[in-house]
């Protein structure tokens, strides 16, 4: 024997009526269906307006009102990363730190990751030759440490425009100087890992 099915009819019960929010604009009796933040400091506290008044409020709204240009710039930069801390990622961030350490200590290879190691005479000579090649390349490009790779690249482009044989009527001396500049640039490019 099966049980008789019980039917539930919820339509008989009245649903509680939700209160209609009134427009917060003074003198308006419309429904406040659209929210707008009260101020820059209270973005989660809202006024509730009808459509016409929320449009009017939004036209007049200026998030940066009363801020100095420096404060606006800082706010925009913070918002770029959703107000979270950030740091450089990838190979260049590590390489740049290593190169800056070397540049600040006169291209001393014994500083940083090489410090404290027992090095052979041959290893020291190889490092000295590399140091001299880097210094010579910087002299050719007329740069002094500390220098970053974008500055090296900009100086290289300047010198190529000046010493290119086409700009000097096919002059052999300019061609040799350009070869020297190219070699110096390639040496520094290899050193900076670019």
CA distance 132 to 140: 12
The radius of gyration of the chain's CA atoms, rounded to the nearest angstrom, is 35
CA distance 74 to 86: 14
In-domain check, residue 11: no
Last residue of a domain, one of 59, 80, 101: 80
What is the per-residue pLDDT across 109-162, written as a single tens digit (0 to 9) for each?
Answer: 444 444 444 455 655 565 565 567 888 888 888 888 788 889 999 999 999 998
In-domain check, residue 49: yes
- Answer for the pair 160, 178: CB distance below 8 angstroms, yes or no: yes
Give the residue-averaged pLDDT of 47-55.
95
In-domain check, residue 2: no
- Evaluate if residue 35 carries a pLDDT over 90: yes
State the chain's mean pLDDT as an integer. 79
Range of the domain at 62: 20-80
Residue 101 and residue 144 share a domain: yes
- Helix, strand, or coil here: 107? coil
- Answer for the pair 59, 83: CB distance below 8 angstroms, yes or no: no
CA distance 159 to 177: 9
Q: What is the pLDDT confidence band of residue 186, given thresholds at 50, 70 and 90? A: very high
CA atoms within 13 A of residue 180's CA, in its CB half-sphere: 15
Please give the residue that has the higher pLDDT: either 49 or 89: 49
Q: How far is CA 66 from the centre of its chain?
A: 27
Residue 60 and residue 101 share a domain: no
């Amino acid at each position: 024997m099966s049980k008789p099915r019980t039917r539930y009819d919820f339509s008989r019960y009245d649903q509680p009526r939700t209160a209609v929010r009134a427009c917060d604009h003074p003198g308006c009796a419309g429904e406040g269906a659209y929210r707008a933040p009260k101020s820059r400091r209270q973005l989660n506290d809202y006024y509730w307006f009808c459509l016409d008044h929320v449009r009017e409020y939004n036209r007049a709204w200026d998030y940066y009102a009363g801020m100095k240009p420096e404060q606006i710039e800082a706010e925009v930069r913070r918002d770029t990363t959703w107000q979270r801390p950030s740091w450089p990622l990838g190979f260049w961030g590590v390489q740049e730190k290593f190169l800056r350490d070397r540049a600040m200590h006169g291209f001393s290879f014994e500083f940083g990751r090489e410090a404290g190691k027992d090095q052979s005479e041959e290893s020291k000579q190889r490092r000295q030759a590399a140091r001299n090649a880097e210094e010579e390349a910087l002299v050719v490009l007329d740069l002094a440490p500390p220098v970053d790779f974008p500055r090296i690249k900009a100086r290289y482009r300047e010198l190529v425009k000046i010493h290119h044989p086409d700009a000097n009527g096919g002059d052999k001396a300019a061609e040799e100087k350009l070869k020297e500049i190219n070699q110096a640039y390639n040496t520094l490019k290899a050193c900076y890992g670019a």
